[in-house]
Amino acid sequence: MTPDSSAMDKNFDVIIVGAGPSGLAAATTCARAGLKTIVIERGDRPGTKNVMGGILYTRPTAGVWPEFWKEAPLERPIFEQQYWMLTPDSALKFGYRSEQFVGDVPNAFSVLRVKVDRYFAEQTEKAGALIICQTLVEEVLTDGDRVKGVRCGREDGELYAPVVILCEGVNPELGKTLGMQQRLKPSQVASITKEIISLPQETINDRFNLPGDDRGVAIELMADATAGLLGMGFIYTNSNTLSVGVGALLQDAMDSQYTPYDLLVRMKTHPMVAPLLQGGETLEYVSHMIPEGGYGAMPQLFGDGIMVCGDAAMLVNSLHREGSNLAITSGKLAAETAVEAHDKGDFSAKTLHGYRGRLEQSVVLPDLRKYRNATRFMETHPVFDVYPEFASDAAREMLTVDGESKRAKQWKLMRMLFQRRTIFGLAWDGLDAGRSFL
Amino acid sequence: MSEHKQNVGLPDKLYKVKYKTDERSHLKIKDQGVCAQCEDKPCIARCPAEVYEDEHGQILVAYENCLECGVCKIVCPFDNIEWEYPRGGYGVVWKFG
């Protein structure tokens, strides 16, 4: 991994930009197929520039690294998912806990990316790929319209390959320069802040009602968690830390008085959240963007000698908190397409079009297409204030025993709902929800 | 936005972040004249790390605090921030990520 450009052969079968989930998945797949593969990473070592909320889905990951969960440095298998709708002093909670989530193949794990990416990078090297760190790719080299390699930010830093896979992440600077990407808009990204908070394992187990450190919970927090902004908060239990974060669509956040840091402090001090974090020490403060433009905002996914994967390709299903799995799958599929191109000896867009076809055959594009209207729906309907507040009021009203009959309470709630949303508003919300999500 | 005291406690949090600071900035204001005309200056409030500061209409850039999220270049209404990745090996070094 030590860069020594002078001694290195400069010709490769495939060059991959970025050692995140999509880049490492692509590199592992290419190297296993026998391609001479190089990954170029700007960070100190793989992982040190990478951020995610912290839930890694097992099966898509095992599609590249089989049985990785038996040895990778993961935090806890997640056997419970909770959703909390917060109002300033209340929480309406839904949850599902199942031992089936931690069977032979646990469904998901909480992870800390720096640790886990280091492991995936080691697996990638074992597969035969070369990973060069501390190196920024400054330019994709072209010969006419055709990509022929990259220029790195070091002396004599030109490397050549007939196909380049861009796995740059949410800031796709090379893709933009190539004209494959537009400048991202505030309506297409969420801004996230997060803290890693240290607590003794026993304390975490007690506070989250976990039987041991081999069980974890993921909590998503809505409504007042984001001060009503379009977004979500989260608390994930790691082994002896918590990942506590909040994010909001940048467009929405720009109209708010809360800075990204203040939004996080606000959630951390919420009366339903604060007791869980009490006494914890913050080990790291993190910020990141999530691309949320969805299907309609995807960039050009391929061209002559080039393919784009993961966050750089906007492959995120924010409604279902899926990103790294789509990144890994897209990296693998781009790699399979690169292998096919080598077999054919044709690296033109005509062959690389197969990447898009493979994404169509997988869950990636069908899922993104299914939720293409989700962000627009949440922007245009009061799902982050009117409905959570009403649900909270309804729960409190029906659970309060005060001499008023249940029928009278129901009528009161009906009147309350119609005061907050007209019958046409309600009908439109329901119809559009059906159209957008079913 | 005026009464609300922003980012109380943030410096302590940034102190927990590990950086390898380059001597040259990867963030540049293209034209300070444009910022002087900008009413909202969303870069200041939207940056999670207080990189941008308004000093008598001039925008100061504390690039060494940058968490490399990319928000500033997106919220700038005039596309007036030249945002590059730090040179290879420089910038934020996440411990957990």
Give the tens place of pLDDT for each residue, A125-135. 999 999 999 99
If you write DSSP's letter for every residue of B18-84 in order, what string do you get? -EE--SS-SEEES-HHHHHH-SS-HHHHH-TT--EEEETTEEEE-GGG-----HHHHH-TT--EEE-
B86, A283: Cβ pair inside 8 Å?
no
B14, A134: Cβ pair inside 8 Å?
no
B70, A287: Cβ pair inside 8 Å?
no
For residue A66, what are its two tokens? 């089989």
pLDDT tens, residue order, chain A (438 aa): 445 555 578 999 999 999 999 999 999 999 999 999 999 999 999 999 999 999 999 999 999 999 999 999 999 999 999 999 999 999 999 999 999 999 899 999 999 999 999 999 999 999 999 999 999 999 999 998 889 999 999 888 999 999 999 999 999 999 999 999 999 999 999 999 999 999 999 999 999 999 999 999 999 999 999 999 999 999 999 999 999 999 999 999 999 989 999 999 999 999 999 999 999 999 999 999 999 999 999 999 999 999 999 999 999 998 888 999 999 999 999 999 999 999 999 999 999 999 999 999 999 999 999 999 888 899 899 999 999 999 999 999 999 999 999 999 999 999 999 999 999 999 999 999 998 888
Comparing CA positions, the residue from A86, A425, A368, A366 lying closest to residue A231 is A86
Please state, in angstroms and rounded to a whole number, the distance separating the CA atoms of residues B53 and A360: 46
- pLDDT tens-digit map of A296-318: 999 999 999 999 999 999 999 98
* Bridging pattern class, strands A241-249 and A189-198: antiparallel
Please state, in angstroms and rounded to a whole number, the distance separating the CA atoms of residues A15 and A2: 17
Using CB atoms, pick whichever of A186, A254, A284 lies closest to residue B17: A284
On whether the CB atoms of residues A20 and A323 are closer than 8 A, the answer is no
Q: Helical H runs in A127-197?
A: 173-177
B88, A42: Cβ pair inside 8 Å?
yes
The pLDDT value given to residue B1: 44
> For the complex shown, is ipTM > 0.85?
yes
Interior CA angle at A20 toward A18 and A23, to 5°? 60
B9, A260: Cβ pair inside 8 Å?
no
Interface of B with A in 45-64 (CB under 8 A): 45-49
For chain A, say whether B86 makes contact (Cβ under 8 Å): yes
**Average pLDDT, consecutive stretches of 10 residues, N- to C-terminus, chain B (97 residues):** 76 97 97 95 97 94 98 97 97 97
Interface of B with A in 5-44 (CB under 8 A): 6-10, 13-14, 16-17, 20, 42
What are the CB-based long-range contacts (under 8 Å, 24+) for A125-130? A125/A1, A127/A27, A127/A28, A127/A31, A127/A32, A128/A31, A128/A32, A128/A37, A129/A16, A129/A27, A129/A28, A129/A30, A129/A31, A129/A37, A129/A38, A129/A39, A130/A37, A130/A38, A130/A39
For chain B, say whether A283 makes contact (Cβ under 8 Å): yes
Interface of A with B in 358-377 (CB under 8 A): none
Using CB atoms, pick whichever of A47, A183, A260 lies closest to residue B46: A260
For chain B, say whether A260 makes contact (Cβ under 8 Å): yes
For chain B, say whether A133 makes contact (Cβ under 8 Å): yes
The alpha carbon torsion through A359, A363, A367, A368 (nearest 10 deg) reads -30
Using CB atoms, pick whichever of B7, B75, B89 lies closest to residue A262: B7
CB contacts, 8 Å: A159 with chain B: none
Residue A41 to chain B, least CA–CA distance (Å)? 8
A287, B48: Cβ pair inside 8 Å?
yes
Please state, in angstroms and rounded to a whole number, the distance separating the CA atoms of residues A363 and A369: 10
Each domain of chain B, given as residue ranges in start order, spans 23-94
For chain B, say whether A44 makes contact (Cβ under 8 Å): yes
Q: Which fold has domain B23-94?
A: Alpha-Beta Plaits (3.30.70)
B7, A186: Cβ pair inside 8 Å?
no
Residue where the block lists tokens 């309060």: A400
- Kindly identify which residue of chain A lies nearest to residue B46, measuring between CA atoms: A259
Comparing CA positions, the residue from A137, A194, A173, A379 lying closest to residue B74 is A173
CB contacts, 8 Å: B4 with chain A: 257-258, 262
If you write DSSP's letter for every residue of A161-176 in order, what string do you get? -S-EEE---S--HHHH
Helix (H) or strand (E) holding A142: strand A137-143
Please state, in angstroms and rounded to a whole number, the distance separating the CA atoms of residues A333 and A309: 9
Interface of A with B in 144-173 (CB under 8 A): 152-154, 170-171, 173
Please state, in angstroms and rounded to a whole number, the distance separating the CA atoms of residues B1 and A259: 10
For chain A, say whether B68 makes contact (Cβ under 8 Å): yes
Q: Which residues on adjacent β-strands are paired with residue A249?
A: A190
Residue A313 to chain B, least CA–CA distance (Å)? 16
Residue B81 to chain A, least CA–CA distance (Å)? 12
Comparing CA positions, the residue from A117, A46, A169 lying closest to residue B88 is A46
Residue A193 to chain B, least CA–CA distance (Å)? 7
